[in-house]
Amino acid sequence: MDFVEFLINRGDDMLELGLEHAAVVGASVLLATIIGVGLGVASYRQPRSREAILAVTGAFLTIPSFALFILLIGPLGLGFLPVVVALTLYGLLPIVRNTITGLREVDPAIVEAALGMGMSRGQVLRQIELPLAWPVIITGVRVTTLVLLGIAAIGSIVLGPGYGDLIFTGLARVGTPVAVNLVLAGTLGVVVLAVLFDVLFYVIRKLTTSEGIR
Amino acid sequence: MTPSNSSPAGTPGTGKVMIRLENLSKRFPGQKTDAVSNLSLDIYEGEIVVLVGPSGCGKTTTMKMINRIVEPTSGRIILDGDDVTTTDPDALRRRIGYVIQQVGLFPHQTIGENVATVPKLLGWDKARVAARVDELLTMVNMAPETFRDRYPKQLSGGQRQRVGVARALGANPDVMLMDEPFGAIDPITRDRLQNEFLRLQREVRKTIVFVTHDIDEALKMGDRIAILQGPSQIAQYDTPEQILTAPASDFVSDFIGRGASLKRLDLSHVSDITLTQWPTVRVGADNAELLDVLRRSDKGAVLVLDDAGRPRRWVAPDDLDRHPGSPLDQIGLVPEAVVEPHATLSDALNELITARFSVSIVVDAHGVYQGVVDIDQITDAIRSMRAAAVARARARFTEDPAGTPVIGS
Ligand SMILES: Nc1ncnc2c1ncn2[C@@H]1O[C@H](COP(=O)(O)OP(=O)(O)OP(=O)(O)O)[C@@H](O)[C@H]1O
Ligand SMILES: [Mg+2]
């Protein structure tokens, strides 16, 4: 069967899987952003906790994804949940690291001026430091998204949603003519999603970054 | 500790102590010595006090303890009668304008938003904030329509410094702290900003603590100067005039550098001295009248004035011989060394050195002749300034033999 024909036949499937894939990655990125920025904000001014947090979030990335998904079956079962948890853990490092870098790169003179004008620590963080670090933070979020789009496909082994389904079905049928088409379609789906997310981040970054620091 | 004989006579302040630093010390964590040690200083309302001294002597640290960006290790800070050593630092800082050397504008906010910082923190309503922003920008010579919506990166260095000053004036604080606010700009722009700032200060009359390491800037800006000599010593705390004419120690003399007398001339004005008269005639006078005036003086030429009294020519008897019958305003030499009464003695000196008859002609704002300044008057002025300063210093010393007044420790 011709690949294009295959895609047209499976059009509905492709769309549905794409939405699932985007949803699971989107949810994980959101969680990783909330936790990652939180950890970054909490630790960027204390060298010791900063190093510890970077070490731990970095360690997550070294766990083979296959293994982590399977290990999570015990506590979390199958489906959406273990995938989101695993992806969130994998997604932390780029976000935490960029949050810390972004906040530490803010010119100390600007912070001193803000404090000197009578802003509280919290006001300085919200009104000055985070907006200035934002372009760096959102770059971290974008990297996380791209990494997670790929890893999410493997979540299919714990019956997670998304294009992994096509890839693993293809894997199960290696040798049959449809197998290559299945794997190709799954891969293509992930690549298309990656491009779409990239465009999305470009737009978000543009809209949320002050003209003064662009 | 703090003698009471420290009336700030001769300076623009009200004489009320606005900021009192009492035995302030700061030792930074991990340091073996104090950055500032047991320093006491009274700063009067409405004055510009300049902290000046060699690098590392603790100027910045002292200034930052006033708004507690640096928390003192010991000692007290009293602001307008309130002990603010341990009160809420944010509230304290909203009462004090702060200009740092690096300016520190918020790059992601427009100029308008930057200037609105403190009014917004104080919860002013939108209309009031907007009106204040425009007022402040106008005050520092930045057209609000042009600059309000720009970002800091779209301004020149000098414009950013102005915005920094406007932002610090945000909620009209009584006190301003300025750390080398005109540091990193070219000399011409710096001079202009200094002049603008002094003009602004004449209107707003803030109590200002101004840090610089440049003695010339200190002499120009300060109503009073504290020369710091390392962590635990104020070498002299006095008016620029006193510091120049009666330096308290060799350290101060060295710090002022050569040419103290010349610098002193920058601080006195032509209007402060009595002018000498030079023989003059009106344009319409005839030769006989001119020669008669000249004969009755000991000078070699007369100054010809026009009908409005403005200097037109120097005319000597030679000129009459050389151009018989010519109108007096077409012969002789055009007077070049002309100054107005608000000119400094140093300007007048500079002019008269190269002038034809070694005098500067003084005219009023309409150009009308008032008199002349010669070198003898300037040396007399220097001599009497020195005598007065020495007398003042001696008077204080007898009242308070322990040291220079106003400074404890
Ligand atoms: N945060 C800090 N930690 C440790 N030491 C400090 C700190 N800030 C200043 N010092 C030290 O305190 C002393 C006084 O510093 P300060 O910045 O007040 O000097 P300054 O008179 O402003 O000098 P400059 O003219 O160079 O700006 C210096 O010896 C400096 O090294
Ligand atoms: Mg300094």
- Ligand 1 closest atom vs CA B54: 25
Give me the interface pTM, i.e. the ipTM.
Answer: 0.86
Using the beta-carbon criterion (under 8 Å), do B121 and A109 form an inter-chain contact?
no
Distance CA A130, CA A154 (A): 34
Read off the pLDDT of residues B159-197 as tens digits, 9 standing for 90 and up: 998 999 999 998 889 999 999 988 877 888 888 888 888
Which domains are present in chain A? 3-213 (1.10.3720.10)
Pocket test for ligand 1, best of B37, B57, B69, B234 (most atoms within 8 A of CB): B57
Of A40, A33, A4, nearest to A145 by C-alpha is A33
Instruction: Specify the CATH architecture of the domain B271-379.
Output: Roll (3.10)
Q: What is the pLDDT of residues A69-111, one digit of tens each?
A: 888 888 887 888 889 999 999 999 999 999 999 999 999 999 9
Residues in B touching A116 (Cβ below 8 Å):
67, 69, 93, 96, 98, 100, 177
For residue A116, what pLDDT is reported?
A: 93
CA distance B138 to B146: 11
Q: Tell me which range, A56-65, A93-102, B264-273, B327-336, is most confidently predicted by mean pLDDT.
A: A93-102
Neighbouring-strand partners of residue B304 = B281, B313
Minimum distance, in Å, between the CA of residue B63 and any CA atom of chain A: 12
Angle between helices B126-139 and B157-168 (to 10 degrees): 130
pLDDT tens digit sequence for A4-16: 887 888 777 788 8
Q: Quick one: DSSP state of residue A9? A: H
Quote the CA–CA distance of B405 and B259 in Å, as a whole number: 26
Band (pLDDT 50/70/90 cuts) for residue B384 is: confident
Domain boundaries, chain B: 3-257, 271-379
- Top mutation candidate among B27, B61, B211 for ligand 1, by most atoms within 8 Å of CB: B61
Residues within a 6 A CB radius of ligand 1? B 28, 31, 35, 55-61, 213
Most confident of A99-103, B100-104, B200-204, B286-290: A99-103
- The shortest CB-CB distance from A132 to any of B93, B108, B168 is to B108
pLDDT band at residue B407 under the 50/70/90 scheme: very low
pLDDT at residue B63 is higher than 90: yes
| pLDDT at position B375 over 60 | yes
Q: What is the pLDDT of residue A10?
A: 79
| Token pair listed for B219 | 């002499």
Atom 5 (ligand 1) nearest CA: B28
| pTM, rounded to two decimals | 0.80
Supply φ then ψ for residue B314, to 5 degrees: -90, 125
- In this structure, is the dihedral angle defined by the CA atoms of residues B176, B177, B181 and B183, taken in order, positive or negative? positive
For residue A109, what is the nearest residue in chain B, using CA coordinates? B104
> B292-325 burial string, b = 16+ CB within 10 Å, else e?
ebbeeeeeebbbbbbeeebbbbbbbeebbeeeee
The pLDDT tens digits of the residues spanning B18-47 come to 999 999 999 999 999 899 999 999 999 999
Return the ligand 1 atom nearest residue B63 CA.
18
For chain A, the average pLDDT equals: 90
CA A144 to chain centre: 3
Q: Find all residues with CB under 8 Å of B187, minimum gap 6, and list them.
A: none
Residue type, B150: R
At residue B263 the predicted structure's pLDDT band, cuts being 50, 70 and 90, is confident
Q: Is the pLDDT of residue B409 over 60?
A: no
Q: CA A213, CA B107: separation in Å to the nearest integer?
A: 6
* Ligand 2 centroid from CA B176, angstroms: 16
B3-257, CATH topology level: Rossmann fold (3.40.50)
